[in-house]
A and B are shown apart, each in its own frame.
Chain A
Amino acid sequence: MTQGREIAVFAIALVVLAFGPLICPLIQLDITILSEVLVTTLAVLSVNLLLGYTGLPAFGNAAYFGLGAYGAALSVTYLHVNFEFAVLVGAAAAVAGGLLLGPFLLRRRGIYFGLLSIAFGQVFYFIAYRYTDVTGGEDGMNFPRPSLGPGFAHISIKEVQFYYIALIVFAVAMVAFRAVVRSPFGRTLVAIRQNEVRVRYLGLDTDRFIFVALLISALMAGVSGALFGLLINFAYPLILDWHQSGNFVLMMILGGAGTIWGSLVGALIYVIGKDIISTITPLWQIFLGAVFVACVLGFPRGIVGSIGALVRRRAVSEDVSANEAFDANAPIEVGRGV
């Protein structure tokens, strides 16, 4: 995609999303579901950065997501902070988690990185589960949604306001994410996915790159988790669980690993699909599972990845020399480097 066309697609998507509160009633969709899509997209992007771009099996990102949610919940409950501060605390908690786990995770690659990620995530899950006095344990913790802004000029956040806050954060995150994966740093991450040994033999300490990628990922997952907690006014241990991590990975694969838009599409299909199907049958997971299996078998590059490959193939057949193969959106084959 050329730069101009990409900006156009992004602008159109934002305009459509801006009409979300008007569109939702027409299709009998709760606006909070659309908020959840936007918020979840950030968490999927956080997995995408590590798994889709860098090739590290990020099977424990729910840890950062949950730290974000609990950071927000605890700061609102015990410190009575306002909305933006709660998000900051959640993000900071997640980054602190990344700083803590990073040095250990860096010691392993491949499947062992994935297993370590899951294991560390479960540690946080059990802390939240067991530390009943503070976190409410298995019951989780309910908390009121704080208002935005300082005390003298606060704005109370109803569902529609929340949606627009989520949309702004989403837009900033998408732009920032694109800048990161297109930067020399981001291209080096893609190179690490393809051949880490060679990157080291270009004189680069790949651990340093992976550590920073991990922190960026934790930050995005933390913001996502904090907003998610504030959206449902609830934090509970299961959002730290490895099932939750698995859901993010699933959404990323569904949309397309290594593609920016894939994260939104994956979150959109998963969150809305779950909402619709779960009102029809409690066995909604079977249906989503079937969609997932069909996707992996039929379009291993995910929805956006497959479309991208199709467009590229057409472009290549039209003009071989115009083959812009070094594209940040270039899809990868799912499962590589895992």
Chain B
Amino acid sequence: MSDEILLEANDITKAFGGVRAVDDVSIAVREGTIHALIGPNGAGKTTFFNAISGFTFPDHGRVTFRGTDVTRTRNWRRIEMGMGRTFQTPSVFPELTVDENVRLGVRAHAKQAFRLRTPTGAAAAAVDARVDELLGFVNLTAQRGRLVAELAHGSQRLCEIAMSLSTDPVLVLLDEPMAGLAEAETERIVGVIRDLRERLGLTVFFVEHNMRVVLSLAEQITVLDRGRLLAEGGPQEIAANEEVRRAYLGREVLASA
């Protein structure tokens, strides 16, 4: 683990009408870590995520990615800079095949998406190889010819993760990657997230509800409650934190952790 800070958000505030969904929150995501963002429903996790990834801009505060101020940088530019992101409901192209979903991202990264001619030769081979690699990574090679709309929910998630990897990010933002998944599917995603760091050396910042998963997966945990930063620390610290217990954590979950 390096001590380099990859993503830093300072004093982020975002209000909707009179409600401060995120109120003066600061975090630092270190390179090579798996960092989790937790909190009860309505704590502002997704709002915070949106501000970091450029889905919306914060009203106040500053986002720094790889040493550059990206607070007002357009979302597609942030992807070019090395961010990848998934959404709570898998954001995919439902009427395209798995292969094509991933291929679009690979082509985008290879600067081929704007072409009016399909590249041939080495350029095409490089794209093919990368698509194969990504599908292999999330174990969807067998389903590559199927429409994403036909896939099970968990497989759609995996497809989306492959898409977010297709642009070669250094930081992957995952918004509730386990939401709505069965036990076996959850295990699969947990394995993939571990691999993101172990095999690909990426930094992962994720929002999650499943406490068992968070405590076993994350090295650093940030807790939000009602838009404010409640606590920060390693899994043991967070599990032992009285305030966090009161605000959020189910007692039995902690007892079993």
Contact = CB atoms under 8 A, between A and B. Distances in A.
Interface of A: 179-180, 182-188, 190-191, 194-195, 197-206, 208-209, 212, 321, 323, 325-326, 330, 332
Q: Shortest 9 CB-CB distances between A and B: which pairs?
A: A203-B79, A202-B105, A194-B93, A202-B108, A198-B91, A200-B76, A183-B116, A326-B100, A203-B80
B96 interface: yes
Given A179-B116, A204-B76, 15 more contacts: A179-B117, A184-B118, A191-B93, A194-B93, A195-B94, A197-B55, A197-B91, A198-B91, A201-B75, A201-B76, A201-B164, A202-B109, A203-B105, A323-B145, A325-B145
A187 B167 CA distance: 17
Given A197-B91, A198-B91, A203-B108, A180 B96 contact: no
30 contacts: A183-B116, A184-B113, A184-B118, A184-B119, A185-B113, A186-B116, A188-B114, A191-B93, A191-B96, A195-B92, A195-B93, A199-B104, A201-B76, A201-B84, A202-B76, A202-B104, A202-B105, A202-B109, A203-B76, A203-B80, A203-B167, A204-B113, A205-B74, A205-B76, A212-B114, A323-B145, A323-B146, A325-B96, A325-B97, A326-B96
B230 interface: no
Contacts of B55: 197
| A-side interface mostly | helix
Interface in B70-119: 74-77, 79-80, 84-85, 87, 91-97, 99-100, 104-105, 107-109, 112-119
Contacts of B119: 184
Interface of B: 53, 55, 74-77, 79-80, 84-85, 87, 91-97, 99-100, 104-105, 107-109, 112-119, 145-147, 163-164, 166-167
Nearest to B112: A184
Nearest to A330: B95
A203 B93 CA distance: 15
B95 to A, nearest CB: 6
A325 B108 contact: no
Given A204-B76, A206-B76, A187 B100 contact: yes
Contacts of B91: 195, 197-198, 201
B148 to A, nearest CB: 10
B164 to A, nearest CB: 7
Contacts of B93: 190-191, 194-195, 198
A198 B163 contact: yes
B114 A194 contact: no
A12 to B, nearest CB: 26
A141 B108 CA distance: 48
Nearest to A190: B96
Contacts of B146: 323, 325
A180 B74 contact: no
Contacts of A187: 100, 104
A45 to B, nearest CB: 16
B166 A202 contact: yes
A194 B166 contact: no
